[in-house]
Structure 1
Amino acid sequence: MTDIPVASRIIKGIHFSPSDGRVMLSFANGQTRVFEGVPLEAITDMVEAPSPGQHYVERFRHQYQRVA
């Protein structure tokens, strides 16, 4: 997995595997969530959003399959 830097108050880490589209998000509250089938473009959109946390809530979390 590749670590992708993100400037966010609620998302502390993004770890992405381009080979299978698996992404692990680490949150400031200590939770970790894993999604699969995520294209690199979706990660780029979240990281480049004015508010990556808000982007996650509004456009990411229900669009991709959560596996953990």
Structure 2
Amino acid sequence: MEDIAIKSRIIVAMQYDKVQKHLSLQFKNGERRLFADVPRNIVMNMVKATSPGEYYIANVRAQFPRLAT
């Protein structure tokens, strides 16, 4: 997985596996979430968003399958 720098009030770390299309997010509350089938353009849009946390809620959280971590 590749580490991706992100500036967010709720997300402290982000990793993406472009082969498997897995997105891993570490939240400030300590929770880690792993999502499958996430296209790279979604990941890059989240990084560039004015509010990555809001982008995550609107475009990732319910749209992609969550894997057990």
Q: TM-score band (shorter)? A: over 0.9
Query: Who is 2:35 aligned against?
Result: 35
Per the normalisation by structure 2, the TM-score is 0.94
Q: Which runs of 5+ in 2 are unaligned?
A: none
CA distance in structure 2 between the partners assigned to 1:49 and 1:28 by the alignment:
18
Q: Percent identity?
A: 38
Q: CA RMSD in A?
A: 0.6
Paired residues for 1:1-40 under 5 Å: 1-40=1-40
- Over residues 4-55 of structure 1, what are the superposed CA-to-partner deviations in whole Å (9 max), with x where a residue is unaligned? 0000010011110001101110000000000011111010011100000011
Count matched residues: 68
CA distance in structure 2 between the partners assigned to 1:59 and 1:24 by the alignment:
15
Counterpart secondary structure, 1:15: strand
Query: Who is 2:49 aligned against?
Result: 49
CA distance in structure 2 between the partners assigned to 1:59 and 1:16 by the alignment:
16
